[in-house]
Structure 1
Amino acid sequence: MFNITVLSSFHKMYGKCNPGELYKIIEEIRPNIIFEELSHEVFKVIYSFDYQPQTVEAITIKNYLQKYSVKHFPVDNYPIKETDLFSDAQIIWDGSSEYRDLWNNKLLRLSQDGYKFLNSNECIEMLDRMRIIEETFLTQTNNVKLLNEHRTEKALHEKRENEMLRAIYYYSGQYAFDKALFICGAEHRKPLRQKTKEYEANEPLKLKWTFYNDNQ
């Protein structure tokens, strides 16, 4: 009971990151419940009858629901303000050849290996290195405005992750399940590993967390 798999994804279609590949993974897991990185408002729009979704996840889940009857819930409900987001990654792209190389390599691996890459330690290490370059570049160029935005966005994502986990535990308390799936962006994989351990230790409801492809 209460087995939940965290699957890292990329919201845009790119090479082997596409609805067909994601559908195979969901069908392999066969979850009773799917938790989505969406707010309530966006969720209502996407799953209205005549809306044509744009993200890989929404396209896939809409197709999956035509064949399988599963519950699915939006869990990303922490409010996002435009002022909390980093506004100019282009300045780092223009100023760091290593950053450009990492981005291009990330896209190459995403195209070739799709979800296998997104759910790997290699992807985590690449994203970590990119964040270090961002912070180092902004500090060295003394761009206080963008550095503050970068730190604010990082804090925002931490709050979003806490909210998503809170919502998952809430819904899990309302609806018993054998297998659940939580699909979210690859940048959340590393922090969610630590946060789920903390929740496991402190929450009375015990969920068994698994991260897709962790042992491969």
Structure 2
Amino acid sequence: MYNITLISTIHSENGKCNHNELYKILESINPEVIFDELPSHYFDMYFGNSFDLYYANSVLRNRQPPKMPLEVKCIKKYKQNYNVKILPVDIDVTTKLSKQQDEILFMFSIFFKNEDYIKLDNEKELLITQEGFRYLNSDKFLDFLERKEVVEKNIIDSEIQKDRLNNVYKLFHTEQHDNRENAMIHNIYKFSKENQYNQAVFLIGAEHKKSIMQKIAEYEKHSGIKLNWSMYGDNKKICR
């Protein structure tokens, strides 16, 4: 009981990383519950009627229609064929980050001027296209995350405005990773304490993989309920 498979994904379809391939993965696991990296109000929009109305209105006004995330397209298809409960577990940090939007854009503009960073990012995108979820859920992707972190910190240390960049970097990772990941883990454990299930999956952006694995292992030590976590792709347990 309480088996959860963590599946790393991306939000926009790219080559072999598409909603049909994710659907096959879900079918192979056959979850009763899907925990998804969505805040509740986005969940209501995508799975209610408002998204269809928003899409139709954009088309009528000759505006670029909104894109539905890869995971949402997959879940909608899966829900049509299987009895499954969908739980949005994320929180929205858009308001907090929007106040620092110019600083965040400044930071990434510095990153994408660096040849090593560009080369690393291009390598990632190519492997996503060619290998899809197999790459995103592999040790090779964890290695990419570690190399990216090293390159980012080297870039910051080499810049004249490194103090400014360090502050933005810490803020971005606190809001985009730490606060959101802690909230998602808390929401999963809260639901699990109140509901029984045998098999669940947790769909989360691959960039969170390394840090959320560490947080889950730490959370499990102090939790009143024990969940059986595993990662899709390499059959490794997160918590032992």
Shift of 1:49: 3.3
CA distance in 1, matches of 2:100, 2:182: 17
Which residue number in structure 2 is paired with residue 79 of structure 1? Answer: 93
Which residue number in structure 2 is paired with residue 203 of structure 1? Answer: 223
CA distance in 1, matches of 2:2, 2:121: 37
CA distance in 2, matches of 1:66, 1:162: 31
Give the paired residue count. 215
Shift of 1:153: 1.1
CA distance in 1, matches of 2:229, 2:217: 9
Shift of 1:87: 2.1
Shift of 1:78: 5.3
CA distance in 2, matches of 1:177, 1:83: 40
Which residue number in structure 1 is paired with residue 62 of structure 2? Answer: none
Which residue number in structure 2 is paired with residue 119 of structure 1? Answer: 137
Residue type of the partner of 1:194?
Answer: Q
Shift of 1:72: 0.8
Which residue number in structure 1 is paired with residue 9 of structure 2? Answer: 9
Shift of 1:10: 0.7
Structural mapping, 1:57-68, within 5 Å: 57-68=71-82
Describe the SS at the equivalent of 1:73: strand
CA distance in 1, matches of 2:49, 2:193: 29
Shift of 1:50: 5.9
Residue type of the partner of 1:146?
Answer: L
CA distance in 1, matches of 2:93, 2:118: 31
Which residue number in structure 2 is paired with residue 90 of structure 1? Answer: 109
* Match status 1:165 vs 2:165: no
- 1:6–1:181 Cα contact (<8 Å) kept: yes
Unmatched 5+ stretches in structure 2: 53-66
The sequence identity of aligned pairs, in percent, is 36
Q: 39-48 or 187-196: which moved more?
A: 187-196
Superimposed CA distance per residue, residues 139-192 of structure 1 (whole angstroms, 9 cap, x where no aligned partner): 211323333111111112111111000000011122210001000011111112
- 2:120–2:148 Cα contact (<8 Å) kept: yes
Cα–Cα, structure 1 residues 78 and 202, in superposed 2: closer, same or farther, change >3 Å?
farther
Which residue number in structure 1 is paired with residue 159 of structure 2? Answer: 141
Residue type of the partner of 2:5?
Answer: T
- Using structure 2 for the length normalisation, give the TM-score: 0.84
CA distance in 1, matches of 2:157, 2:217: 32
Shift of 1:193: 1.7
Shift of 1:196: 1.5
Q: 54-63 or 74-83: which moved more?
A: 74-83
CA distance in 1, matches of 2:77, 2:22: 11
Which residue number in structure 2 is paired with residue 185 of structure 1? Answer: 205
Describe the SS at the equivalent of 1:31: coil
Cα–Cα, structure 1 residues 171 and 84, in superposed 2: closer, same or farther, change >3 Å?
farther
Match of 2:147 among 129, 140, 146: 129
- Using structure 1 for the length normalisation, give the TM-score: 0.93
CA distance in 1, matches of 2:121, 2:91: 29
Which residue number in structure 1 is paired with residue 45 of structure 2? Answer: 45
- 1:76–1:164 Cα contact (<8 Å) kept: yes
- 1:34–1:73 Cα contact (<8 Å) kept: yes
Residue type of the partner of 2:78?
Answer: Y
Q: CA RMSD in A?
A: 1.7
